[in-house]
């Protein structure tokens, strides 16, 4: 069974149609890139998968392990293993990153009926994980994303992903706002988390990121649906020819 | 946006009936006749077997009170209080002199146990391992407790041990008998009987409260605490607390309070006076959890409290920390008079309102001495249909050269049916004074909640996390165990405030 099946998904925001019959399947362990021009609905797709309010699903379904998740709250989806690395990570003033991580992980474990982590075990696990990602102890004490540089914010998203160990990670324009060094560090973090047990949807505008995170498949989105799918070479072709050629196909 | 609308609807139907301490203890009580007159004042004074000077003091206050009018300047709205339709004294029927806990009504002991305040010293010592928010084991710490039930103190713990250190910690009624010279010297010296309508009323009819005296150079060996419980229906609680730290002394004092859920409003009009002499310090922390009333605003405590500290000596310090979650109406401005040169006043406050609660609270920092400093950190959180006002005054006298104040007032709104207001008054009569004021109002954004929820937290967990982050600066000022309690209380107070 495929991990994720999106079937003929139609989504509106404030009466404006954003997704227009999108169909997409993600296999277990697969890394799929989703590319497309601005306004093609990429970010909407990521929010709808994570369960954000304010999106009105008028038609279609999203199946995880063959079961619909449309009725599930964001936290229930998280507990089932869906993780969204935000394009613009949100600041949470006064809440230490360490506290945030522990609250999130224990909340998920509670929902899954698993025992909570003991504090010493948790701290040990976070220290090991953050060391691997090159995240400092000082970073863990700072309030979530407050005063972080663009690179630090993105690295913080990857740290959360490493701690929460999702089965489906959606990376929404993780490359935006990163210089080349930060891009490399973040990509290394992502690659370290690749596993046959974990699927990823890598949403990006540019082919550049895919030099570092090499996808198994590439899907092209335009006007709210997938208009072309192919191997990683499709990304190079897009880089050369641009998105204009797909504008008509989606219409 | 249908989903957002749903959130808003749920906030509207907010359920605030989360109050855990709303039970009533069934004890027989002895009450003064209903209503308020000179006879009531005489009755209370006679019950306490008070000396003539004390009765005179009360009567003078009462006569003064008759000429005063209830203040109306606060941003609170409540039905007119009928002062003649309430009881001003209620005591559990038992022997008036309690020599040991065995004579305390078991029902009352049980009440305090239920509230999490054990009154038996051995129970307090029974090796319960306490942990902080991060699960670290805390060092064993003892707290001496004075338990005030309606109008009287029912038990005071660790009295003997404190006595050995020279610290006097006892109910006010006992202090009037045993240490009249100290009481006469300090009572009313910070909040005079003429101060304001509610303080004057308190001066006339106060029944009990705590008295603390820490002698020169003594650091009080443990935290002191008073736990107030209103039990009787239709009864006001008027307690009077007086804490004096003599030269170079230090004491940390905690105050807690709860009341049963009742349909009618109950009046609580307390007076707290603090005095610090040269180089002394008092740290006063409150977790106020009076019954806030039900979702429709029915019932709840009217909390009209006058709290003031006098930094009488040079380089002395008074610090107020308050976590306000209860009461239907809160009218409370813990203040500092910075009289001694180089003295310092601090005010840290978290005020949470939910349902139909109304809070008008803040502080006054009155700089009289040279090089006096003060700091105000106030965090107001409004949810439901509540209103939350910060009202503060910072003033520098002509002679207060080098006075400095820093004020930070932040308000957080949850939902769109509540209000936050900030009313700061700043007066500098001295050109060398430096006053800084920062203020902000923010709303818990849908984005912030979604970010937390996408990581696995429920709506409640996410709100609690965000709110705890918001109030962190103040929580850090509370004694550790208290901070953990306060954190829990904040989550409970906000339960049901988000969809």
Domain boundaries, chain A: 4-250
**Residues of B engaging A, defined by a Cβ cutoff of 8 Å:** 1-4, 7, 133-136, 445-448, 450-459, 461, 465-466, 468-473
A74/B453 Cβ within 8 A = yes
Q: How far is B447 from chain A (nearest CA, A)?
A: 7
User: Do the chains contact at B456 and A100, CB–CB below 8 Å?
Assistant: no
Closest Cα in chain B, distance from residue A78 (Å) = 5
Q: Provide the shortest C-alpha distance from residue A243 to chain B (in Å).
A: 30
Say which of B3, B461, B470 has its CB closest to residue A54. Answer: B3
Q: Please give, rounded to a whole number of angstroms, the shortest distance from the CA of B446 to a CA of chain A.
A: 9
Q: Do residues B29 and B436 touch, judged by C-beta distance below 8 A?
A: no
Residues 6+ apart with CB under 8 A from B275: B186, B189, B190, B242, B243, B244, B245, B309, B310, B312
Select from B11, B134, B451 the residue whose CB has the most chain A CBs within 10 Å, as the one to mutate to test that interface: B451
Nearest C-alpha neighbor of B143 from the set B257, B253, B286: B253
Homologous superfamily (CATH) for A4-250: P-loop containing nucleotide triphosphate hydrolases (3.40.50.300)
B118, with CB counted inside 10 A (0-12, 13-18, 19+), is: middle
Question: Rounded to an integer, what distance in angstroms lies between the CA atom of residue A119 and that of residue B299?
Answer: 42
Q: Which residues of A touch B469 (CB under 8 A)?
A: 92-95, 143
CB nearest B469 (choices: A78, A83, A95): A95
**B135 occurs within a structural domain:** yes
> What is the Cα–Cα distance from B346 to B374, expressed in whole angstroms?
6
Residue B459 lies in a domain: yes
pLDDT tens for residues B440-489?
887 788 889 999 999 999 988 898 888 888 888 777 777 666 676 677 77
- Cβ–Cβ gap B450/A52 under 8 Å: yes
pLDDT band, very low/low/confident/very high, at B376 (cuts 50, 70, 90): very high
Can you give the residue range of the structural domain that contains B335?
Answer: 2-493
**pLDDT (tens digit, 9 = 90+) per residue, B181-190?**
999 999 999 9
Please indicate whether, in this complex, the C-beta atoms of B455 and A73 are within 8 angstroms of each other. no
Residues A50, B447: C-beta atoms closer than 8 Å = no
pLDDT at B308: 97
For A78, the 3-state DSSP assignment is helix
In this complex, the residue of B453, B468, B469 whose CB is nearest that of residue A75 is B453
Q: Which residues of A touch B446 (CB under 8 A)?
A: 53-54
Question: What pLDDT score does B101 carry?
Answer: 59
Q: Which residues of A101-114 are buried (b: 16+ CB within 10 A; e: fewer)?
A: bbbbbbbbebbeee
Choose the closest CB to B454 out of A50, A92, A103: A50
Q: Is B498 among the domain residues?
A: no
Instruction: Let me know if residue B499 belongs to a domain.
Output: no
Query: What is the full per-residue pLDDT of chain A (251 aa) written as tens digits?
Result: 899 999 999 999 988 999 999 999 999 999 999 999 888 999 999 999 999 988 999 999 999 999 999 999 999 999 999 999 999 999 998 899 999 999 999 999 999 999 998 889 999 999 999 998 888 889 999 999 999 988 899 999 999 999 999 999 999 999 888 888 889 988 999 999 999 999 999 999 888 899 999 999 999 999 999 999 999 999 888 888 888 877 655 44
Number of A–B residue contacts, CB under 8 Å:
99
Task: Give the tokens for residue B333.
Answer: 């401005």
- Please name the member of A53, A83, A103 whose beta carbon is closest to the beta carbon of B457: A103
Q: How many domains does chain B have?
A: 1
Q: Is A107 within 8 Å of B455 when comparing Cβ atoms?
A: yes
Residues in chain A closer than 8 A to B2 (CB atoms) = 56
Q: How far apart are CA B312 and CA B306, in angstroms?
A: 18
pLDDT band per the 50, 70, 90 thresholds, residue B198: very high
Greater model confidence, B219 or B161 = B219
At residue B481, the pLDDT reads 61
């Amino acid at each position: 069974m495929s991990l994720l099946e999106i079937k003929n998904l139609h989504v509106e925001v404030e009466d404006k149609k954003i997704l227009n019959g999108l169909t997409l399947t993600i296999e277990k362990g697969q890394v799929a890139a989703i590319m497309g021009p601005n306004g093609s609905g990429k970010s909407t797709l990521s929010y709808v998968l994570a369960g954000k309010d304010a999106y009105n699903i008028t038609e279609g379904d999203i199946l995880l392990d063959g079961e619909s998740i449309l009725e599930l709250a964001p936290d229930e989806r998280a507990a089932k293993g869906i993780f969204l690395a935000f394009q613009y990570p949100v600041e949470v003033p006064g809440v230490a990153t360490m506290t945030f991580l522990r609250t999130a992980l224990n909340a998920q474990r509670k929902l899954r009926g698993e025992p909570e982590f003991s504090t010493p075990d948790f701290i040990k696990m976070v220290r090991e994980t953050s060391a691997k990602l090159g995240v400092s102890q000082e970073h863990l004490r700072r309030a979530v994303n407050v005063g972080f540089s663009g690179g630090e914010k993105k690295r913080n998203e990857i740290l959360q992903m490493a701690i929460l160990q999702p089965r489906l990670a959606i990376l929404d324009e993780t490359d935006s706002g990163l210089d080349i060094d930060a891009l490399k560090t973040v990509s290394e973090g992502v690659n370290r988390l690749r596993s046959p047990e974990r699927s990823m949807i890598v949403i990006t505008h540019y082919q550049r990121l895919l030099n570092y995170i090499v996808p198994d498949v590439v899907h092209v989105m335009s006007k709210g649906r997938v208009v072309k799918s192919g191997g990683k070479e499709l990304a190079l072709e897009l880089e050369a020819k641009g998105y204009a050629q797909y504008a008509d196909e989606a219409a | 946006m249908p989903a957002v609308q749903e959130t808003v609807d749920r906030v509207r139907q907010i359920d605030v009936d989360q109050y855990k301490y709303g039970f009533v203890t069934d004890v027989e009580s002895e009450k003064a006749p209903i209503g308020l007159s000179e006879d009531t004042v005489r009755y209370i004074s006679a019950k306490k077997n008070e000396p003539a000077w004390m009765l005179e003091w009360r009567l003078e206050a009462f006569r003064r009170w008759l000429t005063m009018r209830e203040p109306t300047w606060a941003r609170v709205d409540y039905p007119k209080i009928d002062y003649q339709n309430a009881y001003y004294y209620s005591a559990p029927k038992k022997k008036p002199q309690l020599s040991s806990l065995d004579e305390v009504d078991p029902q009352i002991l049980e009440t305090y146990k239920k509230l999490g305040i054990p009154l038996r010293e051995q129970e307090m010592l029974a090796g319960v391992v306490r942990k902080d928010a991060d699960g670290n084991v805390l060092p064993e710490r003892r707290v001496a407790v004075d338990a005030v039930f309606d109008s009287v103190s029912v038990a005071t713990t660790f009295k003997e041990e404190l006595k050995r250190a020279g610290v006097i910690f006892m109910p006010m009624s006992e202090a009037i008998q045993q240490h009249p010279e100290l009481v006469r010297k300090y009572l009313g010296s910070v909040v005079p009987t003429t101060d304001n309508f509610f303080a004057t009323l308190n001066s006339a009819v106060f029944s009990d409260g705590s008295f603390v005296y820490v002698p020169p150079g003594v650091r009080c060996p443990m935290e002191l605490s008073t736990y107030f419980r209103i039990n009787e229906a239709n009864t006001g609680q008027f307690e009077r607390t007086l804490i004096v730290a003599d030269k170079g002394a230090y004491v940390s004092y905690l105050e807690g309070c709860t009341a049963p859920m009742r349909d009618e409003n109950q009046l609580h009009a307390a007076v707290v006076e603090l005095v610090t002499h040269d180089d002394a310090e008092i740290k006063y922390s409150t977790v106020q959890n009076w019954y806030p009333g039900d979702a429709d605003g029915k019932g709840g405590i009217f909390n009209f409290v006058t709290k003031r500290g006098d930094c009488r000596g040079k380089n002395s310090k008074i610090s107020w920390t308050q976590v306000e979650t209860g009461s239907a109406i809160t009218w409370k401005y813990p203040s500092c008079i910075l009289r001694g040169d180089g003295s310092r006043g601090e005010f840290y406050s978290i005020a949470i309102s939910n349902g139909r609660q109304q809070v008008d609270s803040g502080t006054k920092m009155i700089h009289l001495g040279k090089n006096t400093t003060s700091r105000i950190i106030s965090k107001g959180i409004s949810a439901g249909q509540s209103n939350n006002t910060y009202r503060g005054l910072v003033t520098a006298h002509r002679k207060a050269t080098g006075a400095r104040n820093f004020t930070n007032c932040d308000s957080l709104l949850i939902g769109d049916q509540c209000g936050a207001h900030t009313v700061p008054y700043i007066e500098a009569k001295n050109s060398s004074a430096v006053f800084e004021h920062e203020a902000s109002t923010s709303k818990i954004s849908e984005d912030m909640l979604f970010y937390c929820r996408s990581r696995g937290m429920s709506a409640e967990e996410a709100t609690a996390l965000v709110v705890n982050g918001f109030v962190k600066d103040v929580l850090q000022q509370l004694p550790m165990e208290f901070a953990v309690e306060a954190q829990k209380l904040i989550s409970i107070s906000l339960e049901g405030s988000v969809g």
